[in-house]
Amino acid sequence: MLNAERLRERMEALGLSQSELGRRVGISQTSVYKLLVGSASGSKHLHVIARALGTTPAYLSDETDDPSEGAVPPPTERDIAEHLDLVPIAMVDMAYGMGATFADDRIGVELVHFPKVWVDQLTHSAPASLAWARGKGDSMAPTINDGDMVLIDRSERRVEDQDLIWAFTIGDMAMIKRLRIRGDKVTILSDNSEVPADTAHPDEINIIGRITRVVKPV
């Protein structure tokens, strides 16, 4: 007989809702609810429930007081990524735009896993050197529209090929533009013909990386 209180404790310890546990086990939220309130005292899915909760059927059935005795630890995020051949790439929580986007220390970065085979088709650079960010504004339209995702290759920090698209900062402002360097003058170019070019000194510009891919919403 399943101990509803132990089931509830394990769910709370892992922060799992009834619907999320049901999804992991392959049963309905209603079935989980019945187990929690005691209207159902057993389940043919007990082994799967125990595994999802990082414990054993014996613990959930009051046969032992040790929730970890004989339990198989759930796979870590890294284990899952390796099994599915996924690679982590930084997702930067900021938008690069027309010089009106502030780049400060409060920028959030989250690692998101992507299929390695897909990433290899986009670039030969190591995933640790890559970052996704979002375009803002229309100064780079039609190449990059507002809301498009851009892949930044942070291994490329030196502007050797002219007129390529770069992510960079000037002071506290983050931008995505084409750059053309001639001596001590940098011309900042927009693809939108209605946006005039700007200039800066090379020392003013901090290159974050080169834009290697643009992914537009479907």
User: How does pLDDT run across 132-191, given as a tens digit for each residue?
Assistant: 988 888 899 999 998 899 999 999 988 888 899 999 988 888 889 999 999 899 999 999
Q: Which domains does the chain have, with CATH numbers?
A: 4-60 (1.10.260.40), 79-215 (2.10.109.10)
Q: pLDDT band at 115, cuts 50/70/90?
A: very high
SS (H, E, C) 44-66: CCHHHHHHHCCCCHHHHCCCCCC
In order, the DSSP letters of 86-154 are EEEEEEEEEEEBEEEEE--TT-EEEEEEEEHHHHHHH-SS-GGGEEEEEE-SSTTTTTS-TT-EEEEET
pLDDT of residue 218: 73
Dist. CA 149–CA 92, nearest whole Å? 11
Residue 18 carries which side chain, given as an amino acid letter? Q
- Look up residue 85 and give its two tokens: 């051949």
pLDDT of residue 99: 42
Q: What does the pLDDT average to over 93-116?
A: 64
Cβ distance 2 to 25 under 8 Å? no
Neighbours of 159 (CB within 10 A): 18
Dist. CA 214–CA 218, nearest whole Å? 12
Percent of the chain with pLDDT over 90: 38
Q: Are strands 173-182 and 165-170 parallel, antiparallel or unpaired?
A: antiparallel
Closest to 154 measured CA to CA, from 129, 184, 173: 129
pLDDT of residue 201: 93
Write out pLDDT tens, residues 125-142. 999 999 998 888 889 999
Write out pLDDT tens, residues 50-83. 888 888 888 998 888 887 776 666 667 778 788 8
How many Cα atoms occupy the beta-carbon half-sphere of 185 within 13 Å?
A: 6
Q: What does the pLDDT average to over 92-116?
A: 65
- Look up residue 144 and give its two tokens: 């990059």
Residues facing residue 135 across a β-bridge: 96
Q: Which carries the bigger pLDDT value, residue 1 or residue 21?
A: 21
